[in-house]
Structure 1
């Protein structure tokens, strides 16, 4: 199978760098073909702007969505954007690896999403009507592909527990897993999270590497997070709220899991 690793850390000798190298080797040893988008090494431009559209007319206002739509449809995208889209088309699974910085992914990876997820490619696809609201949340251009987050954080696991000060890790990652990944159709696997990344010794690293290896071995067997598909009849359209008889009394992120 084809696996793409989208990786964001500026230091190759970091814990993240070591885990990325291990993941490449483990996946290859399992017979997979691996590509890596090392965003810092690539010098990835994170900001979405008029330069992403090769045919943008100087002096005219830049409209992010409309310009993205025209560029994708007309083949006028910046070559770096088109190249990453080709990698996503190629991949059967995508691993997004990053340190949790200020409760989210690094800015360079967020910029990768904003630029690569073009209108017509990752959003703005499918029929919009009283019966459907586009191909998204379980459908879309990434349908049939798998995605998994590999995340490191300096905090303890208790800090990210159900009553921890930082909030539950599943809640913190919900905007990424449900919004960035499930929205365009990925089957989203439970994340692999390494805590206390600044307190690492050989024994802990060996344990983390072993656990990550087991998750990578099961990349195509692990059951995905059971998010509710948008167009399955569980949501009122076009309001896009859960029907009253679906998960009554439940609100917030947890209501959108079956």
Structure 2
């Protein structure tokens, strides 16, 4: 069970430069949410010097001192309160929030390594997911997730029949479904800023205005479809 607090959001930001367009997206989102009465916590991963590399040091005590099975030690560490303090701090922020927002640039068809590492270390087994406790039965059900990310490519490069394929169900499926949806969050259709390194200032301003409007109307935005556990048996084999 999660400890969600009303209209409280966590902004997880993964960009090293404070004057970047991604930082401007983060600030635009924060401003729109604040204007709408949200309380906001921040995890600015680069500014925090967040360590993205999982290791035995993530546990102050181990169930098995001889061999590290990371997911099992995560479960034990959360249950016994022996996870590293930086992990516990991030888990507490997620638990307190009803909305988790991610801002980042896309690198090599993926999220930045520091964000991937944040997920690896924070989305602990036993609390975020376990056994059949995934998707609609995941540990973070009831929470919403929203991502705003930038791309160097043009919009026509993405989608059905395009050179790079679809974003939500292709390039970033591992993140939107395999991480956020997997743990039970309702994943709101993301905001994509295309070709941003090459845009003139007026186009960047227009993109931020569009983002602000979308954040003000998050409840009306589509939620990405996720697997329905009712269509699978207890081994996750398809029924019928």
TM-score relative to the length of structure 2: 0.92
Cα deviation, residue 167, structure 1: 1.6
- 1:86-101 matched pairs, under 5 angstroms: 86-101=92-107
- 1:196-211 matched pairs, under 5 angstroms: 196-211=195-210
Q: Give the number of the structure whose alpha-carbon radius of gyration is greater.
A: 1
- Gap runs ≥5 in structure 1: 125-132, 245-258
Residues 196 and 204, structure 2, Cα contact 8 Å, conserved in 1: no
1:179 alignment partner, SS class: helix
1:34 alignment partner, SS class: strand
Larger RCO: Structure 1 or Structure 2 (Cα < 8 Å, ≥ 6 residues apart)? 2
Cα deviation, residue 59, structure 1: 6.6
Structure number with the higher helix fraction is 2
Paired residue for 2:32, among 15, 26, 35? 26
- Gap runs ≥5 in structure 2: 1-6
TM-score relative to the length of structure 1: 0.86
2:43 alignment partner, SS class: strand
How many residue pairs are counted as aligned between the two chains? 233
Q: Confirm whether residue 13 of structure 1 aligns to residue 19 of structure 2.
A: yes
Residues 25 and 148, structure 2, Cα contact 8 Å, conserved in 1: no
Q: Partners in 1 of 2:155 and 2:124 — Cα distance?
A: 35
Q: Confirm whether residue 243 of structure 1 aligns to residue 211 of structure 2.
A: no
Cα deviation 1:104-148 (Å, max 9, x = unaligned): 000000000000011111122xxxxxxxx5221122221111001
Q: Partners in 2 of 1:204 and 1:21 — Cα distance?
A: 17
Q: Partners in 2 of 1:18 and 1:135 — Cα distance?
A: 36
Q: Partners in 2 of 1:201 and 1:226 — Cα distance?
A: 35
Residues 139 and 183, structure 1, Cα contact 8 Å, conserved in 2: no
Name the Cα RMSD after superposition.
Answer: 1.7
- Which residue is 2:3 aligned to? none
